[in-house]
Structure 1
Amino acid sequence: MSDALRLEALYGDRLVPCYADRPRNLDAMLRASVAARGDAPALEDGEATVTYRQLDRLADRVATGLLARQVKAGDRVALFVGNRSEFVVLLAGIWRLGAIAVPIGVRQSAAELAYMLDQCGAAALVFDASLAERLPPRAQIAGVHCLVCIEDAGTAEAGHADASTYTALLADGSDTPVQADFADTQPACIMYTSGTTGHPKGAVLSHLGFFHTARHYVGRFGYTADDRLLLTIPGSHISGLLAVVVVSLQIGGCLVLQRQFNAGDTLALIESRRVSAAVMVPAMYNLCLLHPDLPKRDLSCWRIGHFGGAAMPEVTIARLAEALPGLALYNGFGATETTSAVTLTERGDAARKPDTVGTVVPCVDIRALDAEGREVAAGESGELWIRSPGNAIGYWNNPDATRTSFVAGYWRSGDIGSVDAEGFVRVFDRIKDMINRGGFKVYCVELENVIQRHPGVVEVAAVASPCPVLGERVHVFLHATEPVDPEAVRALCRRMLADYKTPDFVTVSATPLPRNLNGKLVKAPLRAQAREAADRRNVLPLEKTS
C-alpha cells in the first residue's frame, strides 16, 4: 500500500492530507485481512478462538440479523459490552451494515447510559447479561426499539424481558454477503468523551479517521500479521478500540482479549498466549513491576509496550528496561476527538526523551497558540491545536460545541504544550489543571513525575488548593504500597524542583486514586477534597501542614 498523500476537503471546511491508497471503509479493510489471513486466528477469548473467515461470516450474520430487527444504515447501535469476542464481532457487523457503533463503558450508571442512548437516538442496544440490572427503566429508553442480550455461558435466556438473545440475532441473520458500499467519511462510531463537568459529548468518528490512525500505529511500531495484541484496557475506550482492536484487524493479527486487568493474570496471559504487544496506562505497568510473579514469567515474546493517558515516570521506564530488556516502550498523545494518537514516539525515545510524547505522525499538523490565537515560537508553551484526518466530524447533535472546538480545520485540545525545533511535542497539562501559585505556574505532570520516584509510590496527582493569599497552593494525593512520610516527599521535590513547586499539602491514600470509566485518573474528586480541606483549615494561609 502506497504512502503517497493528497489533500482532501473533509466535512465542509477542512483541507487535510490523507493517504490516497486506502480501503473504501473499515469493512473493506476487514475483508482484505480475511482474504489474506482467512484461517488465521483473529480473536482469542479464553478457550475460544475465532478465525478471520469465521469473523467474516459472523459479521454478515450480525448485519443481516440487525436488518431483520429494523436496524438500518446510519442507525446508532449502542454496545454495553465488555472485553469479549462478541464485542469485536458486533463492531464488524455494525460497520458492514453501515450503522454507527456507540461503545459505552461497562461501569456507566443507569442514568449515564440513559442519557447517552437518548442523546444519540440509539435504535438498538446490545448488552452483557451480567449488566442487565444496570439498564435504565424501559420507559426511559423507549426510543431504543431493539434490545439484544449476550447470554452468560451455559444459559439461553436474555436476562431482560424485552430483549432477544445474541444467539437469536445470529440465527435470524443469514450468510448472504452484505455489500458495505459507502465512503469512509461516513461515521463509524460515536464515542462519549469523559468530561469532568456537565454531560459528556458524543464525538462522531469516521471510518477514514480510524483507518488513518491505525495505519500510523502500524508504521511507527512496525506491526505485522504475526503480532498478537492484548486487549486489557476497555475496548469501549478510544485507546482500546483504535490502538488494539482496529490495529489488529488492519494487520490481520490476533487479538487476545482479557475481561479485566489484573497484574498477575495479565502477566500469565502474556506468557501463555505469547502476546507481543500491549497497550496499558502507566499505573498498570507499575503494578506489573511490583507483582512478585514478574521475574518468574517468560515474557520474551512481549516486544511492544504502548502507554498514554498519563506520563510514564522516568523511574518506571528505567525499572521496566531492567526487568524486561526486550520490551520497547512507546508513548503517544491524542484524544477521543482525534481518534487516538496524533503523536507517537520512535523506538528508544521513551528513555531518551521521557518528557515528550513523540513527534507528529504523517498527515497531522500541531500548532501551539497563545491565548490571543497567535502561534508561539518553537519550544514555547501554548494551547495545542490539532489538524488530522482522525479529527472527529463533530459532536453529535451539539452544533455549538462543534463550532467552539473545531476551528479552521483544527481541533482545540485544551492542552498546554509545545513543539520544539526538532518536532518533538510536549504536553505540560490541561489548561484548567495548571496550578497558579502566587503568579508562578506549576505544571502538575512535572511535579507528579518527580514524586513518582519516591519508593513505594504507585500513582500521584497534583491539584490546586484554594488560598486567600496566593490564589492557589499545591495539594498532592498519592497512593503507595508502603508508608510514605509527607515531609520526605516535600524534601524530594525541593531537591529536584524550584521551591514554589514543593507541595504544600500531601495526602497519602491506602486505596488507588479515582479513575473514570475509561481507566484514566480523574482529578475532579481530588479537587473537591482539596477545596473541602482548605475550607476546614482555619489557620494562617502559610502554616505548615500535611
Structure 2
Amino acid sequence: MNTDTIPGMVLAAGDRFGDAEAVVDGPLRLTFAELADRVRTAAGAFAAAGIRKGDRAAIWAPNSAEWMIAAFGLHTAGGVLVPVNTRFKPDEAHDVIRRSGAKLVLVQQGFLDQDYPAPEGVLAVDLKGGFLSDGAAYEADVAPDDVSDIIFTSGTTGRPKGAVMTHRQTLRAYTEWCELADLREGDRYLIVNPFFHTFGYKAGLVASFIRGATVLPVPVFDVDTVLDLVERERVTVLPGPPTLYHALLEARQGRDLSTLRVAVTGSADIPVELIRRMKHELPFRHIMTGYGLTEAGTVTASRPGDTFEDIATTVGTPCDGFEVRLGDDGEVLVRGYGVMQGYLDDPAATAEAVDPGGWLHTGDLGTLDENGRLRIVGRKKDMFIVGGFNAYPAEIEGYLTEHPAVVQAAVIGVPDERMGQVGKAFVVPRADVSADELIAWSRERMAGYKVPRYVEFRPELPLNATGKVMKDRLQ
C-alpha cells in the first residue's frame, strides 16, 4: 500500500507505533497494530458488500472508534468517504447521500434520540453491528491522486455542496498541521470536533495517525464528560471552538487539568481576554488558531511566539503551498495545492467558486496586516449596509463579547425604513445587563452605524455541530 495515501499511512502506523494506544472509546482500547488489523478486515467487508475502487460510501454517525475503523477501512478498500452531518434531519441527509452516489451508508441508530434511515435504494449498515468485523483482510491498490473523500459544506446558508479532495492533498496539509499544532507521538488527543467535519476527520483522525497520538472520541460535547476524560486519561491535546474553553474556565475548579498542553481554536470573534485566560488560568503551553474551509482545508495558522492579540484577532499567516490575497471588495481569495478538485457534479458552482487563475473565492471578508496576518471580519452574505456604510457582524460581535456580562453574541441586519438596515444583536448573558445598557456601552466603543439598534437576550444561540451560529434560525 502506497504510504502517500491515507490507508497506506494508517496501515504503516500499525507498524510504526505498534503497541501504543491508537484509540480509547469507553471500555474499548485498541493499539495501532490492532486497529490496523481491524481496518484491513473492514476493507474486506466493504469489498464483500460490492465497494470497488472509486465507489462511495457514507457514514452518518457520531464520533466513535467504529467511525474511524469504517472510514479507514473504506479507504483501504479503495472507496471514497462521504461523511454526513449528524445534526441533519433525514430529508437533509438523504439529499446529500443521494447526490453523492453512495452505495451504502453506515449509521448509528438512536444517537440524539434520532433514527437514521437510509434513502430508498441505498443499503443501510449498522455501524455498531458486526459488519466491520465480517470481512477477510483486504487492501486495494490506492494511488495518491485518487479521490479520498467528498465532504459537503455545512449548509448554514444554501444547499450543501460536495468538495472533492485527494489523498495527496490531505496528507500534505495535515502533516504540516501537525508541526504547527505541535502534535507529538504519544499525545492523548480528545476530539470533540465531529468526525464528519474536515477538522475532526483530518486535523483529528488523520493527524493522530501521522504522529502516533491516541484518539479519544467524544460524540457530544458535555463539559463534565470532557473534564472527566482529561483527568482520567491524562489528555494533552484539546482543540475546540471558543465556547469549549469558556466552559472549561467556568467549570475547572477542583479538577486536575495539568496534562493539557495544546489548544487549537478558530473563529472570527475570539476575545483577546479569552486567549490570555487560557494561557494563564489553564495549563496550555501552545495555543494555535487558524483559518480553514471545506474547499481547501487549513489555509492559515498562527505561529509560536505570536502575541495574545495576534492569536485572538488574526488567523495567522498562510501555510506552506498557499497564497492568500484580498479581492477588490475585501473577499479572501486562496490559491494552492489544497484547493479542492471541484464540487461534485456541479461545474457551474465550481466555476463560480474557483476562477480561471485558480483562486478560490471563499465568501469570507478579511484584512491583511503588514506582517501578512489574515483577519476574518465576516461573511459577504452576512454583511449589511447601514445608511451606506458596510457593517460586518463578526467585528460587532467581537466588541460585544468584550462586555463582562456577555458570554456570546450574534448580530444580523434587519430592515429599517430610514437607514435601509440596522444591526440586531442576539446575546447570551452571564450577568444582569439591559438592552439599553449594552447599546450605550457599544456607542462608546464603535462607530454609530455599527451599534446594534436592538438587543434580544437568549439562554443560548442555535449552533451547528461545528459550533457556528446558525443565523438563519435567528431571523
Same fold (TM over 0.5): yes
What do the CA deviations read for 1:333-352 (whole angstroms, capped 9, x no partner)?
Answer: 0101112x111111342603
Correspondence for 1:506: 455
Correspondence for 2:133: 170
Q: Does 1:148 align with 2:125?
A: yes
Q: Distance in 1 between matches of 2:156 and 2:28?
A: 38
SS in 2 for 1:141: coil
Q: Distance in 1 between matches of 2:39 and 2:56?
A: 17
Q: Distance in 1 between matches of 2:470 and 2:158?
A: 15
What do the CA deviations read for 1:188-242 (whole angstroms, capped 9, x no partner)?
Answer: 1111112334421111122122112211211112221121111112111111111
What do the CA deviations read for 1:398-426 (whole angstroms, capped 9, x no partner)?
Answer: 11111111122221101111223311111
Any residues of structure 2 matched to 1:191-340 within 5 Å, and which?
191-291=151-251, 294-339=252-297
Q: Distance in 2 between matches of 1:525 and 1:205?
A: 30
Does the CA contact (< 8 Å) of 1:365 and 1:388 recur in 2? Answer: yes
Does the CA contact (< 8 Å) of 2:365 and 2:379 recur in 1? Answer: yes
Give the 3 Å change call, closer, same or farther, for CA 289–300 of structure 1 in structure 2.
same
Structure with larger Rg: 1
Please report the TM-score for the alignment, with normalisation by the length of structure 1. Answer: 0.83
Correspondence for 2:347: 399
Q: Distance in 2 between matches of 1:170 and 1:47?
A: 18
- In structure 1, give the amino acid aligned to 2:216: V
Displacement after TM superposition at 1:441 (Å): 2.2
What do the CA deviations read for 1:285-312 (whole angstroms, capped 9, x no partner)?
Answer: 1122222xx0311212111111124431
Correspondence for 1:491: 440
Q: Distance in 1 between matches of 2:245 and 2:132?
A: 39
Correspondence for 1:477: 426
Correspondence for 1:79: 59
Correspondence for 2:301: 344
Does the CA contact (< 8 Å) of 2:43 and 2:73 recur in 1? Answer: yes
Correspondence for 1:364: 322
Displacement after TM superposition at 1:455 (Å): 2.5
Give the 3 Å change call, closer, same or farther, for CA 359–286 of structure 1 in structure 2.
same
Does the CA contact (< 8 Å) of 1:383 and 1:415 recur in 2? Answer: yes
Any residues of structure 2 matched to 1:81-160 within 5 Å, and which?
81-130=61-110, 134-136=115-117, 140-142=119-121, 144=122, 146-151=123-128
Does the CA contact (< 8 Å) of 2:76 and 2:142 recur in 1? Answer: no
Correspondence for 1:51: 31
- In structure 2, give the amino acid aligned to 1:412: H
- In structure 1, give the amino acid aligned to 2:241: V
Q: Which runs of 5+ in 2 are unaligned?
A: none
- In structure 1, give the amino acid aligned to 2:408: E
- In structure 2, give the amino acid aligned to 1:344: A
Displacement after TM superposition at 1:56 (Å): 0.9
What do the CA deviations read for 1:444-498 (whole angstroms, capped 9, x no partner)?
Answer: 2221112112224221111101112211101111112333211221232222222
Give the 3 Å change call, closer, same or farther, for CA 168–319 of structure 1 in structure 2.
closer
Deviation >4 Å, runs of 4+:
none
Any residues of structure 2 matched to 1:441-452 within 5 Å, and which?
441-452=390-401
- In structure 2, give the amino acid aligned to 1:56: A
What is the number of equivalent residue pairs in this alignment? 471
Does the CA contact (< 8 Å) of 2:268 and 2:376 recur in 1? Answer: no
- In structure 1, give the amino acid aligned to 2:435: P
Please report the TM-score for the alignment, with normalisation by the length of structure 2. Answer: 0.95
- In structure 2, give the amino acid aligned to 1:473: V
SS in 2 for 1:244: helix
Does the CA contact (< 8 Å) of 1:435 and 1:464 recur in 2? Answer: yes
Give the 3 Å change call, closer, same or farther, for CA 274–169 of structure 1 in structure 2.
closer
Paired residue for 1:41, among 9, 21, 36?
21
Correspondence for 1:532: none
SS in 1 for 2:473: helix
- In structure 2, give the amino acid aligned to 1:441: N
- In structure 1, give the amino acid aligned to 2:404: P
Correspondence for 2:144: 184
Q: Distance in 1 between matches of 2:305 and 2:405?
A: 26
Does the CA contact (< 8 Å) of 1:108 and 1:517 recur in 2? Answer: no
Displacement after TM superposition at 1:133 (Å): 5.6
SS in 1 for 2:72: helix
Q: Distance in 2 between matches of 1:432 and 1:290?
A: 34
Q: Distance in 1 between matches of 2:286 and 2:184?
A: 16
Q: Does 1:30 align with 2:10?
A: yes
Q: Distance in 1 between matches of 2:159 and 2:71?
A: 25
Q: Distance in 1 between matches of 2:98 and 2:231?
A: 43
SS in 2 for 1:243: helix
- In structure 2, give the amino acid aligned to 1:226: G
Does the CA contact (< 8 Å) of 2:108 and 2:116 recur in 1? Answer: no
- In structure 2, give the amino acid aligned to 1:210: T
Does the CA contact (< 8 Å) of 1:330 and 1:349 recur in 2? Answer: no
SS in 2 for 1:496: coil
What do the CA deviations read for 1:364-420 (whole angstroms, capped 9, x no partner)?
Answer: 11111114xxxxxxxxxx111111322111111111111111122221101111223
Q: Which moved more, 1:60-69 or 1:431-440?
A: 431-440
Give the 3 Å change call, closer, same or farther, for CA 205–125 of structure 1 in structure 2.
same
- In structure 2, give the amino acid aligned to 1:148: V
SS in 2 for 1:295: coil
Q: Does 1:410 align with 2:359?
A: yes
Q: Distance in 1 between matches of 2:65 and 2:172?
A: 24
